[in-house]
A = this chain, B = another copy of it.
Amino acid sequence: MSAKQLGIGLVGYGFMGRTHSNAFRRVPNFFPGVYEPVLIAVAARNEARARDFAAQWGYQRAETDWRKLISAPDIDLIDIASPNDTHAEIAIAAAEAGKMVLCEKPLGRTAAEASTMVDAVEKAGVPNMVWYNYRRVPAVVLAKQLIDEGRLGRIFHYRAKFLQDWTISKDLPQGGEGLWRLDVSISGSGVTGDLLAHCIDTALWLNGPIDEVTAMTETFVKERKHSLTGQIQQVGIDDASAFLARFANGSLATFEATRYARGHKALYTLEINGESASLFWDLHDLHRLQMFDHRDEGRLRGWRSIHITDSDHPYMKHWWVPGLQIGYEHTFVHQFADFLEGLESGSVPGPSFRDGLATDRITDAVLASAKSKTWQSC
Contact in complex: A262, B284 (CB < 8 Å):
no
Q: Are B156 and A322 in contact (CB under 8 A)?
A: no
B292 touches A300 (CB 8 A): no
**Contact B291 A261, beta carbon cutoff 8 Å:** no
Shortest beta-carbon contacts, A-B, top 7: A266-B323, A265-B323, A263-B292, A302-B306, A327-B327, A324-B328, A302-B304
Q: Is there a chain B Cβ closer than 8 Å to A166's Cβ?
A: yes
Stretch of A64-72, A83-91, A107-115, A270-278 on the interface side? A270-278
Chain A residues touching B, range = 35 or more
Are A310 and B330 also in contact (CB < 8 A) when A156-B240, A266-B324, A303-B305 are? no
Please give, as numbers and ranges, the residues of chain B lying within 8 Å of A165 by CB-CB distance: 273
Identical subunits present = 4
A351-378 near B? 1/0 per residue, CB < 8 Å: 0000000000000000000000111000
Q: Mark A146-184, 1 if CB is under 8 A from B, else 0.
A: 000000000011010001111010000000000000000
CB-contacts of A207-234 with B (<8 A): 214-216, 218, 220
Cross-chain contact B242 with A244 (CB below 8 angstroms): yes
A59 to B293, CA, bound (A): 43
Which residue from B266, B275, B375 sits with its C-beta under 8 Å from A373? Answer: B375
A32: chain B residues within 8 A (beta carbon): 56
Q: How far is the CA of A375 from the CA of B372 in the complex (A)?
A: 11
- A310 to chain B minimum Cβ distance, whole angstroms, is 7
For the complex with contacts A156-B220, A164-B323, 18 further pairs of A-B residues with Cβ separation under 8 Å are A25-B29, A29-B56, A156-B261, A216-B244, A262-B278, A262-B292, A262-B294, A263-B294, A265-B307, A265-B309, A265-B321, A265-B323, A283-B324, A287-B325, A298-B312, A302-B304, A304-B305, A325-B327
